[in-house]
Structure 1
Amino acid sequence: MKYFEFLNKSVTPYHTVETLKALFNAKSDKNTRFFERGGALIAVRIPKQICSDSQFRIALAHTDFPTLKITPNPDRAAAGIQTLHPEIYGSPIYTSWLDRDLGYAGLLAYEMNGTVQTKLFRGNKFVRIPQLAVHLNRGVNQEGLKVNPQTDLNALWTASIGTKFTDILQQEVPQGGKLLDFDVQLFDAQPAQFGGLENEWIYSGRLDNLSSCHAIAEAFAAGQPLEKDFQVAAFFNNEEVGSETREGAAGNFLKSVLESVSSLVCSELASVLSSSLALSIDMAHAEHPNFVQKHEPNHAPILGEGVVLKINSQKRYASDVFSSARFKLLCEQNNIPYQTFVMRNDMPCGSTVGPTISASLGIPTVDIGEPMLSMHSIREMTDVRDHEKMTLLLRAFWK
C-alpha cells in the first residue's frame, strides 16, 4: 500500500488497524499470526527453527493521535446553526483545528438479533470550526489567539435545527440494527501531499504516529522468517492519553501474545525478553528554522538527515547505554545515518510507549523516530528521506 493511501485511509485508530491488516494481507505468509484488540494490532512471524536461544525482535508504535472526539450527546444549537460538541483527546494544538474542512469517522456499536456488533464508519459530509472575524477580535494578531476548548471548538455541521447526530449515525447501521454506542472523532479531510521545491517534504494529518506505523508495516510485510528469532510488530492505541487501557501499551495485550508464542520456546519468557530488543518508534522534534532557540545545542535533529535516537536522563524515553549501543551498531552496519535528540533542561520532555513496555516486560528498548515539525497540529510535516531511512532500518532489524 502506498504511503499517502495509508495516511488518507487511517483517520481513526480503528481505520488504522484495517489499513494495516490490508497491507499485511497483501503480502501475508503462513508463518505470521495476527492478534487484534479494537484499535490495537500485533503481528508475529514465527522463525524457521525455534531454539532455546530464540529471541524477540520487536517494533512498537501507536495508532492514535490527538483529536476532537464527539461526545455522547453532542447536539448544540445557536444562531440558527446546529453544532457538535467535542471532547479533547490527547493534546492537540487547538488553533490548528480552526477554519479546516473536517471529516468525522469512527466505530459504531449496534444491536442485531440480540447481540452487539460493530461497524467502521466514515461520514461523507464535512463540518467546520470557524474563527471569529478580526473585526470582532481586534487584538488577535497582537495578543495571540486564545481558544477555550469548552466553548470555542463546537463544530458547525447543519442548519437543520433539531437534527440529532445519533439519527445520522443510525442511518449507517445495517437494516434491522439499533445503534447502541459510538466512538467517533473529527479529522483533517485534506489529503496528504508533497511539499518543497523537490517534493522532499510530506504535509499530512496524523503523521504522529502513522508514519512509524507505515514504516513498521512495510518492513515487516517485506520480510521473511528468520532462522531462530521471532519478528514482532506491535501497534497500540491510547498512547496519547497515557496507554493505561486494554488496547494500550500499559495493558496486557503484548505480554499475553508473547506468552502464547513463547510457549514454543523451552526458555522462560523473562529470560528470552532480557536478551531481546525492542524499537519504540515515535516521532521526534526537528529543529524549527524560526525557533532554533527552542532546541538543545548539538542535539537538534534536522529534517532529511536520518533517524533520531531519543535520550532523556529522567527516563521519559526508554533508551539506555545498552540499547542505544545496539541501535548505533545496527545503523553503522547498514550505512543508515542517525541523529540524537535531547530535550532542553528548562523544558519538560514528552514520552512514548517505550518506557512502559521496557519496564513491564524487562526488555531492552531504544526510543527512535523520524524528525518532524508541527507535532500535534492537525497538519504536520516530515521529510521523505527520513521515512525511507526508517523503513530501511527496520528491514535491517528484521533480516
Structure 2
Amino acid sequence: MFILNKFISKIEKDFGYPLHTQKWIFGKSFATNEEASLATYGITASGCPIFLYILSTSIEATNEKANDDRDFSSNDDIEKSKQNFTMNGLPDDATQSAGETSETGDEEDDSDESESDSDFESVDNDSDASNSVESASNDIAEPEKANSLQKTYRELVELDDKDCVANVEPFECVICLSEIAVGNGVVLRDCLHSFCRDCLRDAIHYTEEAVVKCPFRNHEYSCDSCLQDREVKAVASPELYERYLHRSVASAESKSTKSFHCKTADCRGWCEYDDNVNTFPCPVCGHENCLTCQAIHENMNCKQYQDQIDLEAAENEDAKKTKEYLDNMLTAGDAVRCPQCMVIVMKKWGCDWVKCSMCQTEICWVTKGPRWGPAGRGDTSAGCKCMVNGVKCHPKCNYCH
C-alpha cells in the first residue's frame, strides 16, 4: 500500500524541503491526510497526475494561518484556488511582482523581488521533485510486480503438471450442443478448443489413425491439431487407452521398412532389425523367430527346417504353403540359395551384401554367387570380383563390397 507520508519524507530527505512547505494535489483535491494511501485519492495506476507545490519560507510565514484555515470542501473553491496558478506553477501575483515596478518604495520593491525569486526557485526544482516521486513509486511497485510474476509462474507450472486442462467458464459443446458447467469440460492444449469429456471419448474410440485429431469442424475450417497423449489418457477409460496404444504401435510398424512381425498366431510382438541380425526373440510370446527363414523353427537350424518343409509338403497343408511361399520368393528374386549350403537366404533391406546365417558365407545378392574366392574375405581370385580394376560386378550392383 502506497502511503503519502512516504513520498513527503522522501522529498524532504532528497531535496531538503520541510514537510510543512509541501502542498500535494491529486486530481482536483488537496491532500489533507498524510497517513492515507494513494488509492484514497484515486491514484491507482501509473500515469495518474500528481502535483507538488513547494512554498517559499517567506510566503509560508505570511500566509501560514490562511492556508491552514482555508476550506477546500467544494469543487468551486478548488477551481478558484487553481486559477491563482499559471501553467508553469507560478502564482499570478508573483508574476506581476517580477514584471512591474512598485511605486510605494524601494523597501517594498525588494520584498516583492525576494518573494518572486523564491517562487522561481521552487518552480525550477518542481520537475526534479516530480521525478523523485515517480522513482519512489517505482521502488515500491517493484516488489509487488515480482510477487505477481512469481504467482503467475507457479500457476503456469501447476497447470502444466495437470494431464488435461478443465474449463474455467461454462460453454456449449460444439458436437453435442450441451451446456457444460465449469470444470466438466476439457480445453485442448494445442488449439484451445473446448469439448465435453463424452464427445472427446467418442472421438478417441472411433478414430482409426494413430493420432487423435481435434474434432472441431465448422463451415470455415477443420482443426488440424492433435490431442496430446496425456490428454487421451486422462479422458479415455483404461481399456480404451490400451486400444489407442495398440493402434499407435501398429501404425508405427506399418510405416517402418525394417519391421518384422512375430510369426506366432495372434501375437502383437514386432521389431525393427539390422542387416546383421538373424533372430528375433519375441518379448510378447517368448518364441524365437528366424529372420532368414521368416519363420519359427526352434531346436532346428535353417537347413533342417527347410529340409523338413520339403519332406512334409506332400502331406502337411501348412508345410505345403510354406514351401510354395519359399519357391515364390526364389522366383521373384526376393530370396537366393546360399552357394555353399543351399539354404534359402532372404535379403531384409540395404545393400547387395548378405551373409548366410547357416554357414556364414558372404553372398553377392545381384550375382547370386559368393562374394569372395576360396580363401575368404579379400580373395578376388574368384567370387563376384566387384570393383576389381574399378569395375562393378553387375550393372545393377548396389554396393555388395
Note whether the superposition's TM-score is higher than 0.5: no
Structure with bigger strand share is: 1
The normalised TM-score by structure 1 is 0.17
The normalised TM-score by structure 2 is 0.17
Structure with bigger helix share is: 2
Structure whose CA Rg is larger = 2
